[in-house]
Structure formats: structure tokens, C-alpha cells
Amino acid sequence: MRRLPTSTRRRPESAPPTYLTRPAIVLRSFPCELTNSTRRSERCSRTRPPPTAKSALAIGTDGLGVIAYYDATNGDLKVAHCSNTLCSSSSATTVDSSGDVGSETSIAIGADGLPMISYWDATNADLKVAHCSNIDCTTASTTTIDSVGSVGAYTSLMIGSDGLALISNFDGSNADLKVAHCTNINCSSATATTIDSDHNVGVYGAGTIGADGLAVISYRYFDDTSIVNLRVAHCSNVSCTSATVATVDATNLNQAQTSIAIGADGLPLVVYHEFADNDLRVAHCSNVFCVPFYQRIVPMCSAFPSIAAAKPP
């Protein structure tokens, strides 16, 4: 039976991470404008998207796209390898079919030049990783790297400055943000750490590697009084066994998917969807810790914002 991540909340642990806060910047927002108003409810829906069926894309060492996605018919994790740069055709492979797996995916090219995929095992509520055996990912080794409680949803995979995978995910049993650091290039094992346990945190997480070589993760914070904020965690070391947490937007958001990348200035840029006003919001960090920041609000017509990762200068 499929087990969804729970939403229980708890008080911070005895040794919480360092939290940095800054008053929210009040900016002008704009209504969503559509050329076809009859499709407003479909194209500008404010309903929270379900935590399922998220595909992920990376460019392989052969210059071709490799896509991890969920086969909803069979409940499998699949990979499609593009046959050309246009991806006008591709070859698809089922990578994992053991239960209901792959509904939450993230992909990156490892230090060995092979695709690495993190995903949610919904049957067992575990975090799993698939390490492809070739650039086409026609075969792969799959491993459960965290099975403590209900974990693995909202996964985001990064290749750290040590050449090993680092995976942020949501601990649904405790409503925490967790990070798993792989102990080898195949990620046959990993060390899992809770880096934020303040109320309900970690949903809609997205991560990237900063210009300082350390991971930075954007995600949602939700407290017992229904206050929703956007947070950013900056890892203190390559294994991310601890982190500095900053509240980037404290305007009580009804906020959904986040995406984060490092700009040409070497600083994090975060994009996220605010459902209540149907806005696309962008926060530009002034330093690697994302405090302070500059925020911009623009019209929004999509529930799934995303920005491409950029290599720091």
C-alpha cells in the first residue's frame, strides 16, 4: 500500500541549527494575465500540486538529454535517453519496478560521468538511489539509502564538491528537512542527517552547490499557526551534517514548488510560486547564506517554477 508522507509537527530538537531572519520586503504584486481567460482555472490554478509525477532532466557526458520520470500506469521509475540533441526520439528503460517507485525524482551526472537518480519509494516510504551503469542508463544499481520512518519525498540530488551525491528530502514522520550524503560514488550507502526540525519543514525542497562548494537548499516552512515561509539552508560542510537556516520570505505564503541555482555572481537565486496571489516570486541572495536578499514579484501562471543550474564563476 502506498504510504504518503505525514504532516505531523514537533518542537525543535535540543541542538537546532542556526537560524537567521530578516523582515520581509513589501513589494508590488501583479495579477495573473492570460490571453485566454476561459482557461484561467486550468492554467492558473491555486490548488496545491500533489507530491507525485515529478520528472527530472540532466545533460549527459555525450551531450544528450537523460530524463528520469514516473510511469504512473505501472508505478515504476523510468529513464529516457535522447537519441539526438533535439530529443526528437529516445530510448526508454524501466530502472526500478519494485513496488510503487519514482513518483518523486531528481537526477544529476556523477563524477564518474554516469547519471545518478534519487527518488521516492512510495510503497515503503523510503529514499532510494539509482546509479546508472552506462550513459544511456539501460541498466542501473538501485539502493535504499534511508528507511528510517517515512522519508524520501520532495527529493533533490546534487553532486558535491567531494564528487559524492548529496540528497535533500522530506522526513514525513517528523516533518523535518533531511540530507543524505553518499559514502561512495555509487551511493551504495549514505549518512542521513536532519538539518532543520523547526515545526513542519522540508516540503518542496530544491538544492544546488554554491560557489563556496557547499550545498544550499530552498524549501517551505510551516508552523503550528499556519504561517508559511520560504527558507534557505546553507550547509556548513560538504557532508551537510549541519546548516545555517535563513527565512527568506516571511510574508505568510501559500507557497509551492521552489527552484534554486547559482548565478554568474556566484550567489543563490531562488524562484517559487505563491498560490494565494498567484505570483511568481524571485529572491536573490546577497551572500552565500542568503541574508539579506532582494525579492521580486511577477505574474505567475504555472505551479511548477524552475530555473536551470549555472556553474559558479
- What are the tens digits of pLDDT across the range 271-287? 988 777 778 889 999 99
**CB atoms near residue 12 (< 10 Å):** 13
Contact 219, 184 (CB under 8 A): no
Out of 4-13, 116-125, 213-222, least confident range: 4-13
Burial (0-12, 13-18, 19+ Cβ within 10 Å), 217: buried
Question: Scanning the structure block, which residue is given the C-alpha cell 535504499?
Answer: 144
Compute the average pLDDT of residues 294-303.
48
What 3-state DSSP class applies to 184? Answer: coil
pLDDT, average across residues 253-258? 71
- pLDDT tens digits along 156-199: 999 999 999 999 999 999 999 999 999 999 999 999 999 999 88
Residue 311 has pLDDT above 80, yes or no: no
Residues whose CB falls within 8 Å of the CB of residue 259, separated by 6 or more in sequence, listed in order:
206, 218, 270, 271, 272, 305, 306, 307
- What domains does the chain contain, in order, with CATH numbers? 18-22+49-299 (2.120.10.10)
Kindly tell me the burial class for residue 86, based on how many C-beta atoms sit within 10 Å of its own C-beta (0-12, 13-18, 19 or more): exposed
Does residue 23 have a cis peptide bond before it, meaning omega lies within 30 degrees of 0? no
